[in-house]
Chains A and B, each alone.
Chain A
Amino acid sequence: MRADYFAKKKRNTLSVLLILTVITLVSIFITEYNVVKGITSVPTAVQWALSNFYPTKESLSKLPDILEKLKETLLVSIAASTVGAVFALFFSILGSNTTGVNPLIKSVCRSIATFFRNIDVAAWAMILLFSFGQSSLTGYFALFFGSFGFLTRAFTETIDEASGSSVEALKATGAGYLSVIFQSVIPASLPQMISWVLFVIETNIRSATLIGLLTGSGIGFTFNLYYKNLSYDIASLVVIVIAFTILSIEFVSNYVRRAIL
């Protein structure tokens, strides 16, 4: 009996491994990917990057321009996250199991948020290109929709997790709906919510770069411009500036997170 139990577990593990291997092999076959060539081309790529992809003295003259674009991207990302958070707070309160007022509104709020969340930010950018053209507004709305969808989900879970029991207690004292929200739900969930907003600001700055490529705005566009002009030295400077920014934002948000939690 017991021997059989362990044999069965082993069989399960083996079959999962087998299935993964088969999927990998089939994909390689279909895409005609040459494993050996793929691996051997890595050193060549590194060599090319080292000989072309670094900032030169002349490229530094473009730094003010790059920083200007970077500022735009940063502000757009932050605005999209914070405005998204305000809407998300509203929808999550109405959509949460703890604080929702009625089942219909609850499911409508949840469905709207799911809709916005499940369409990727890049896909939003492409859809919005039709309405707003190549402008930073497109990027802003794409990030806003994505952040709104994600934050609604995150906030809903935070509310359910952090405040379920105290909401029950405050309802039992006869407190009104708004009092319960402001005296129990908000204080209990706020630090966690701020932490989620910081997380979304970080990811938005990352996606903003990619979205800039699509929408022709911000730092992503700057990178694209110099890259396509074969000005690899300036393009590499853009990459370094982006990497530096992301690292410092992460440092700052980690610091804030530690301070509030």
Chain B
Amino acid sequence: MAALLEVNHVSKQFGKDTKALKDVHFSVAEGEFVSIIGPSGAGKSTLLRCINRMVDATSGEIIFDNRNVLDLKKKELKTIRTKIGMVFQHYNLVNRLSVIENALHGKLGNKSALAGVLGLYSIDEKEEAMKILNALGLADLIYKRADQLSGGQKQRVGIARALLQNPRMLLCDEPIASLDPGSAKVIMDHLKNISTNWGITILVNLHQVDVALKYSDRIIGINNGQVVYNGSPKNLTKDDIQLIYGSEAEDLIFDVGGIHAS
């Protein structure tokens, strides 16, 4: 499979001496489900945001669909962004709008300024939104206001919004960090399903190593802004985890062997 995304020697510096990312290097194939794990503050969120340029990388190149994202002009950047959906830890919905309105926001990238300002969506777009909300189990909630939903439901709306962009890739920034285990499983199952059945590439930041091991095709471990592990979940050893999480690994509350066995 051809690489959809290549991150080549990317560094990001905040201010004078805070290096968030140091020479990060990896690639993601079309349709792959990749998890990025690492301790808080390791640079996972910054890395994801560099890919769609919500944060500008200091150096290196990021090739998405054969184009270097870092060279793009404003207009081309918007076009690329419509191909990359993003899912957030805190859902980032417009709380006062309904589920369907929030989902349709995924279509704004392809609209003229006037249609975007007035919020004009075609019948086809609305039907597509209904179809996707249905697939995510939100059929009964489409006219509900976003602030009346539970966390798991909000996150599914966030996924619907990203899917309505017809993206080639989804960037998920800690999508289950604020959810209870049940809702977290529902969300991860949806993401896995989107990857397998829709062929959409998924790059997801995770805190839970066990979840990453269970769902991903590949795991990238980041510590202190550097990639310290890049490989299949099957080959991830206790030593690797120690490398990713540093001294914290001693206290990690799960057993790698146990998960591989199951």
Instruction: Choose among B91, B105, B106 the residue with the greatest number of A CB atoms under 10 Å from its CB.
Output: B105
B88, A165: Cβ atoms closer than 8 Å: yes
A178, B161: Cβ atoms closer than 8 Å: no
Is A184's beta carbon under 8 Å from chain B? yes
A176, B119: Cβ atoms closer than 8 Å: no
Taking A172-B81, A173-B82 as given, write out 18 further A-B residue pairs in contact, using a Cβ cutoff of 8 Å, ordered by the A residue number: A166-B92, A166-B93, A169-B93, A169-B161, A170-B108, A172-B86, A173-B109, A174-B77, A174-B79, A174-B110, A176-B113, A176-B116, A178-B113, A179-B113, A179-B116, A179-B117, A184-B94, A190-B96
Is A175's beta carbon under 8 Å from chain B? yes
Within 8 A of A (CB), among B135-181: 158, 161-162, 165
Within 8 A of B (CB), among A190-241: 190-191
A187, B96: Cβ atoms closer than 8 Å: yes
Is B95's beta carbon under 8 Å from chain A? yes
Kindly state the separation between the CA atoms of A187 and B93 in the bound complex, as whole angstroms.
11
Using Cβ atoms and an 8 Å threshold, which residues of chain A touch B92? 165-166, 168-169
Is A171's beta carbon under 8 Å from chain B? yes
A188, B96: Cβ atoms closer than 8 Å: yes
B residues engaging A (CB < 8 A)? 52, 54, 77-82, 84-86, 88, 90-97, 105-106, 108-111, 113, 116-119, 158, 161-162, 165
List 28 A-B pairs, Cβ < 8 Å: A163-B94, A165-B88, A165-B91, A166-B92, A166-B94, A168-B54, A168-B88, A169-B86, A169-B93, A170-B105, A172-B85, A173-B82, A173-B109, A173-B162, A173-B165, A174-B81, A174-B110, A175-B109, A175-B111, A175-B116, A176-B108, A176-B116, A182-B116, A183-B117, A183-B119, A184-B105, A188-B94, A188-B95
Using Cβ atoms and an 8 Å threshold, which residues of chain B touch A188? 94-96
Q: Of all chain A residues, which has the CB nearest B109?
A: A174
Using Cβ atoms and an 8 Å threshold, which residues of chain A touch B117? 178-179, 181-183
Using Cβ atoms and an 8 Å threshold, which residues of chain B touch A181? 117
In the A-B complex, list the 5 residue pairs whose CB atoms are closest, starting with the nearest: A179-B116, A174-B109, A174-B81, A175-B108, A169-B92
A183, B94: Cβ atoms closer than 8 Å: yes
Q: How far is the CB of A174 from chain B (nearest CB, A)?
A: 3
Kindly state the separation between the CA atoms of A184 and B97 in the bound complex, as whole angstroms.
9
B78, A169: Cβ atoms closer than 8 Å: no
Partner of B105, one of A165, A168, A173, A190: A173
Partner of A169, one of B84, B88, B110, B111: B88
B108, A183: Cβ atoms closer than 8 Å: yes
* Mask of A148-176 contacts with B, CB within 8 angstroms, 1/0: 00000000000000010110111111111
Using Cβ atoms and an 8 Å threshold, which residues of chain B touch A178? 113, 116-117
Q: Of all chain B residues, which has the CB nearest A170?
A: B105
Using Cβ atoms and an 8 Å threshold, which residues of chain B touch A183? 94, 105, 108, 116-117, 119
Kindly state the separation between the CA atoms of A188 and B94 in the bound complex, as whole angstroms.
6
Using Cβ atoms and an 8 Å threshold, which residues of chain B touch A171? 54, 81
Instruction: Choose among A166, A169, A170 the residue with the greatest number of B CB atoms under 10 Å from its CB.
Output: A169
Kindly state the separation between the CA atoms of A168 and B77 in the bound complex, as whole angstroms.
15
Q: How far is the CB of A60 from chain B (nearest CB, A)?
A: 48
Using Cβ atoms and an 8 Å threshold, which residues of chain A touch B52? 172
Kindly state the separation between the CA atoms of A82 and B188 in the bound complex, as whole angstroms.
48
Q: Of all chain B residues, which has the CB nearest A168?
A: B92
Kindly state the separation between the CA atoms of A165 and B77 in the bound complex, as whole angstroms.
20
Using Cβ atoms and an 8 Å threshold, which residues of chain A touch B165? 173-174
Kindly state the separation between the CA atoms of A191 and B82 in the bound complex, as whole angstroms.
30
Using Cβ atoms and an 8 Å threshold, which residues of chain A touch B108? 170, 173-176, 179-180, 183
Contact A187-B97, Cβ < 8 Å, known A173-B165, A178-B116: yes
Contact A173-B161, Cβ < 8 Å, known A184-B94, A187-B94, A187-B97: yes
A169, B82: Cβ atoms closer than 8 Å: no
Q: How far is the CB of B220 from chain A (nearest CB, A)?
A: 21
Partner of B119, one of A166, A169, A173, A182: A182
Q: How far is the CB of B174 from chain A (nearest CB, A)?
A: 13
Instruction: Choose among A163, A174, A176, A188 the residue with the greatest number of B CB atoms under 10 Å from its CB.
Output: A174
